[in-house]
Amino acid sequence: MRVLLQRVTEASVTVEQLKVAEIGAGLLVFVGVEPKDTSVQVAKLVDKTLGLRIFADTEKPMNCSVLDVAGEVLVVSQFTLAADTRKGKRPGFSTAAPPALAEQLFDEFVASMRLSYSRVQQGVFGADMQVALVNDGPVTFVLDA
């Protein structure tokens, strides 16, 4: 499982010209699921995502988590994070989980986040989404489990 985090001042997801999710300052979290992923990876990455200290306080530019600053979280499924780009110029997707497993683990990721934190929104799994964001910093991290 791979998660791409972006610290944002705002972000939104639109599907078929309808805005389905929108947040202010916080984290935009893209989630890519691989075939061997399980609930173990979900738990580790939810904990890491919510606890990663990438927000400023008065002492350091990266000293607080999204929880510490009461930021919002927008979670978006993104199978392209699991792409194999090692050979050639066309990405391969045999390294991405089948849709049924990916959806199950994505839903588990979102549900687990919501159990730990109430300020979580999500995109629509499998939809053609337009994601708008203002990256703050820019600050972007890739987390693997």
Give the tens place of pLDDT for each residue, 93-129.
Answer: 999 999 999 999 999 999 999 999 999 999 999 999 9
Grouping H, G, I as helix, E, B as strand and the rest as coil, residue 37 is: coil
Q: What is the tens place of the pLDDT at every residue in 106-116? A: 999 999 999 99
Q: What is the pTM of this model?
A: 0.96
Tell me which DSSP letter residue 1 carries.
-
Cα–Cα distance for residue pair 112/92, rounded to 1 Å: 29
| CATH fold group of domain 2-133 | D-tyrosyl-trna(Tyr) Deacylase; Chain: A; (3.50.80)
Catalytic positions are 78-80
74: enclosing H helix or E strand: strand 72-77
Collect all residues with Cβ–Cβ distance below 8 Å to 25 and sequence separation of at least 6: 8, 9, 10, 69, 71, 72, 136
Tokens describing residue 90: 């066309």
